[in-house]
Each structure stands twice: as structure tokens, then as C-alpha cells.
A and B are shown apart, each in its own frame.
Chain A
Amino acid sequence: MRKRVCVNLTMVVLVAGLFFTVSCAKKAVVSTPAETQVENAQPSGAQNGLSAEAIAKQEAAKQAQLAKEAEIKEKALREAAARKKAEAMERFVNQDVHFAFDSAQLTPTAQTILKEKAGWLEDNMSVNIRIEGNCDERGTTEYNLALGERRALSVKNFFVDLGISGSRLTTISYGEERPLDPAHNEAAWAKNRRVHCTIK
């Protein structure tokens, strides 16, 4: 009877021991490669004889390199964002809204452009703008000053209806005094019948 128990116990111990040796051996295998990698990264050959100072220096240099790369990435991202912002602003300023002869009504095209501009204004809450109304050279100076103002007011009212605060928007009329194209033909006149937005 006792002999059987002893034999069983011994077998249990032996099996358990086997398991442990195997797992321990695995662990040992796993840990070695990492150490080897780190060691290879050190050109100076990480000998166990390196001082703590040298190790710190290497570490700092590595960090600096990483930081530099990160900075370059960030800068690129910033520049891309700034470019996009500048493009949006340029688009806001350069894209004029045009009108039919003797009219201050906003065409569907005009309204689309203005909706985009309103979006930009909402994204840039600190910006105030001046809305400039213009006419082509036909017709009298005085009438055109009045018509230019009505065009500017049309645009301002459109922005206000979309929720932009009126206090951010000033209007002015230049009548026929500031043509974009000085030629005396229909193409030039169509270009000149415009409202232009500038940033104050």
C-alpha cells in the first residue's frame, strides 16, 4: 500500500517538475533576442564595460532624434493646415459674386458662393469683413454709387440671414469707380458688376 502511494507521489512530482523546466526554458529563450537587439543598436558595441554617462548620452541623442522627427512631422502638418487655411481665406477674398445689369438680386450661383463664404466666416469668428459693391461703367456715376450699395447690402443681408452677426459686416459702394477690367465690352462689364469681400 505505502509503496503505491510513494510511487504515485514521485510520478506527480516528476511530471510537475517537467512542466516547470519546460516553461522556464521557454522564458529563457524569449528573453534573449530583446537584449541582443538593444546590444546591436549600440555602434560602439555595448560591452558590459560602458559607463552610465555614455548610456545616458546615447539615450538623449536617441530622444533628440525622435523629437526632431516628430517636430518635422508636426511642422508639415501645421504647414498643411496653414496652407489650407490660407487657401480658404484666399478663396473667400478672391471669389467675387456677380450680378445682372441694373440688378442687386443674388443669382443661384451667387448664393452658393455666399453660403461657402458664410461657412468660412463661422469658422473664423474673430474676423470682420468689408463688403464692397461695384457696377460696370455704363449709367451715371451717382446712380451706380447707389446700385453698388444695394448690391453690398444684398450680400450683407444674406450673411445675416445665415446667422453671421451684422456687427462683423461693413458695407461700402464704389459704384463704377473701381472696375476690375477697364475694357469697354460686355465681358469686362460682366466682370465689373460684382461684390467683393475683404478682411478688415
Chain B
Amino acid sequence: MKLFEKIFWIITGLMICVMLSFGTCLCADYTYINITNPFIRKIPVAVPDFKDLSKNIDEKDLGKEAQRILIHDLDFTGYLKVMDKGAFLEAPSKTGISQAEINFKNWTSIGAELLVTGGILEHNNTVSLQLRLFDPFKSHLLVGKVYTGRKSDIRKMVHRFAGQISYQLTGKKGVFSSKIAFVSTVNKHKEIFTCDFDGYSPAQITHLKSITLSPSWAWNGKYIAYTSFVRGKPDIYIKNLKQNSGFVVGFKGINISPDWVPGKFELAACLSFSGDQEIYLLTGKGKIIKRLTNSWGIDVSPAFSPDGSKMAFVSRRSGTPQIYIKDLRTDRVTRLTFDGHYNTSPAWSPTGNKIAYAGSIGGHINIYVIGLDVDSVPVQLTHGTGDNESPSWSPDGSLIAFTSNREGISRIYVMTAAGGDQRRLLKLKGAQSEPGWSLEKVTD
């Protein structure tokens, strides 16, 4: 009996120990970073030089390029801080890039909470890129991928991995596959352009030699809607980007401010054929489904909630332009903005719980964000730097693109959702304005 009891307690004790250790492993689940936290501390991440895997001459340059792109991507997020190479104690490009080859103490001792290593292999113009994300404090590989393709695909590969990093840390793939559409002046005309989320690869997509405005991406990235004066008056054009075909919404009067319904081939727009500017719901081919607003005076600039159940819009029904929200299921309309006499350009955050807009106070226009609760107070994100308008959210709700003339000429700027890290996205000849950020994945 005594022996049996002894054994019993030993086994129980062992089991308890095992369960405890097992339990701590379970608890080591990652708490996602709240990317909309305004007081977020940037997480230090180390990105040492990449390793040439086959000593091919081109690999060094390709490796440097890939490293540069990745550092730019991580910086762009607003919640990561890429560490200075001078602080590094170890060079994985020499000592090795896989988990077994890394001495994590060399990284934790300099405060790197994240580590990315890369290896590049080039052969006959085909490139193979290995990327690994580690948690040095847990000596743990978080995600590792190998990408293969042409040299010209390096940028895309790195963006994909940046998306993987984002997914690990925030639960969302982030912005790295998204694109931004915007308006730029070309020889006194206004045309629509697109570029990557980071401002690279700008491309002109309309050549109408007229005034073309207000680009809006459809949810699947296949269509862009915009307003153009090419036929002498403002009409909405729905363009299929790949097939170079499309539809026109050209009723009498003005046809402006298109915004797509999430997940459907439908859009809302402001049409004035009835003699008054009202918002209508249309099919993707331009046929009216129904009228959404019913008040004398300007109703313009629809913006759908991410689940498509509500629509924000601008209305002058109370005497000055303010932002209202219509519940599309109950048809109830409530007013959102009460501060200031001029609030326009609503943009609904993909997180669903707040709206960015342009408010004019004292003759200056700035970007504000307001929550959807009854007692929500607007927060001003831009201050004392010219006029800032036309906000557009990134697909994960972490960043806002907007138009700013703080340099004297109108340019596209980007900032975090809390208003930090305000920087210019790109600089083309002429003036840029009206950014429209696509959803996560735009079909290539």
C-alpha cells in the first residue's frame, strides 16, 4: 500500500508538473498589437543583412534591395521600429539564418523583440528568397517562407512576407498588397492614377484630357468608379481595369461621388436629375435600384460601413454641411457631427467603429476622427499645416491617406490612425489629391 501510494503521488506530481509546463506553452499565445492605440510603443525589430546562398555575384545586390524594401515596409506600418545595424552583435549573413544557427542572446541583449533573417539564391534569372521572422525572447520561429520567381518579382515577394509579419502581429494581412488610386494633374487636366500602397510604381489609368475626379475602388479591386467631365458634364464612369471596358452613369444634371457597396457589384452615388442632389443606389452597370436620401438640399458623398449595413453621407438638411448615418435596414437617419459648421468627406474605418472626415473650423480644413457611440468626441488628427482633406483608410484600418497642401502644392500624405508619422506618399509632376485606398488584395 505504501509503495502504491508513493508511486501514485509521484505520478500525480509529475503529471501536475507536465500540465503546468504544457499550460504555460498554451498561454504563450500572441496578444495581438492594437494598431489603433494612439499611445502605442513601436516594437523594435532587427533586420540584418541577407545572406547570399550560392555566392552568385548578383545575390548581393538583390539581397540589399530585398532588405531595403522590407525595412521600408516594416517602417510603413507605424507600429514597428527598425533598429540601427550598428547595434548588431551577430551577422546571420555569415553565421546562418535558420533557427538552429542563431544565437538569440545576441539579439535579446540589444533589445530586439523581433528578428527577421533572409537568404537569397539566384540562378539563371530565377530568384529564391527565404525569409524568417523570430521572437528572440522566446527563441521561437514565428513564420518562415520561401518565395521563388523572377528578379522583377522581388518587390512583390517582400510585400507578401511583410503581410505575413503583419498577420502574425495583428491578425490582419495589412496593407502590403493594396493599392491607392488618386487624382493628378497632367498638362492642366486631371486624370486618375494608381500606385502601390507605398507610393511605388505610379501608373496613369485614364487619358481623358478633361477633369476627372473622385476615384473609388470596388471591393474586389477589379473596377474603379470615378467622375469625369469628358462628355461636357460630370458623369460617373465605372471602369474594368483589366479589360479596359466599363459603364457610364450619365443622367441629366450632375452624377458624382461614387462609393461601392462592400462585397457587391453595387454602388451609391449623388445624382441630381430630379432637380435636387440626392443619393441613389445603383447596380455596377449603372442602373438605379433605389433612392437612399430624401431631403431637400445637398445630399452627397456616401460612405458604406464595412459590413454594408449602414451608410455615412453629407447633408445640408440642418442648414450647414454635416455628416449623417443612415441605417439601411431600418431607414433611420441620425446625425453624427455637431462640432463646427462644415463637416464633409466621410470615410468609414474598416474596423467598423469610427469615421474619419474633413472638418473646417476657422477657415482651415483638418482631418478628424469620431467614434460611433452617442457620446463620442471628435479627435483632430492634423494641426496647423495647411488644408488637409479627403481621408481614406488603409484596408486594415491602421493608416489614413489624405490630401494636404502643407508644402504649398496639393500632395498625398499618409499617417497612422492616431495621426502619427505624417509623411508624403509620393511626388509626381503637377498636383496630387483625392486618394482612394483599395481593399487588401488587388488583382494583378
| A residues in contact (CB < 8 Å) with B | 102, 138-143, 145-147, 149-150, 153, 172-174, 177
Contact = CB atoms under 8 A, between A and B. Distances in A.
Nearest to B234: A145
A140 B298 contact: no
B253 A140 contact: no
B299 to A, nearest CB: 8
Shortest 7 CB-CB distances between A and B: which pairs? A142-B257, A140-B345, A146-B298, A140-B344, A146-B277, A143-B344, A146-B300
A142 B342 contact: no
Contacts of A139: 321, 342, 344, 360, 365
A139 B234 CA distance: 18
A146 B254 contact: yes
Contacts of B301: 140, 142-143
Contacts of B390: 140-141
A150 B298 contact: yes
Interface of B: 190, 211, 213-214, 227, 229, 232-234, 253-254, 256-257, 270, 272, 275, 277, 298, 300-301, 314, 320-321, 341-342, 344-345, 358, 360, 363, 365, 387, 389-390, 433-434
21 contacts: A102-B320, A102-B342, A138-B363, A139-B342, A139-B365, A140-B344, A140-B390, A142-B270, A142-B300, A142-B301, A142-B345, A143-B345, A145-B227, A145-B234, A145-B256, A146-B254, A146-B270, A150-B298, A172-B233, A174-B229, A177-B190
Interface centre among B272, B275, B390 (most CB of A within 10 A): B272
Contacts of A142: 213-214, 227, 256-257, 270, 300-301, 344-345
Contact of A149 (B257, B277, B363, B387): B277
A149 B342 contact: no
Contacts, number: 72
User: Which of A143, A147, A149 is the most central at the interface, judged by chain B CB atoms within 10 Å of its CB?
Assistant: A143
A146 B271 CA distance: 9
A141 B363 CA distance: 16
A38 B232 CA distance: 70
A145 B190 CA distance: 15
A132 to B, nearest CB: 11
Contact of A177 (B211, B233, B254, B358): B211
Contacts of A147: 298
Given A102-B321, A172-B233, A143 B300 contact: yes
A145 B298 CA distance: 10
Nearest to A141: B213
A150 B379 CA distance: 32
Contacts of B213: 141-142, 177
A135 to B, nearest CB: 12
A140 B358 CA distance: 8
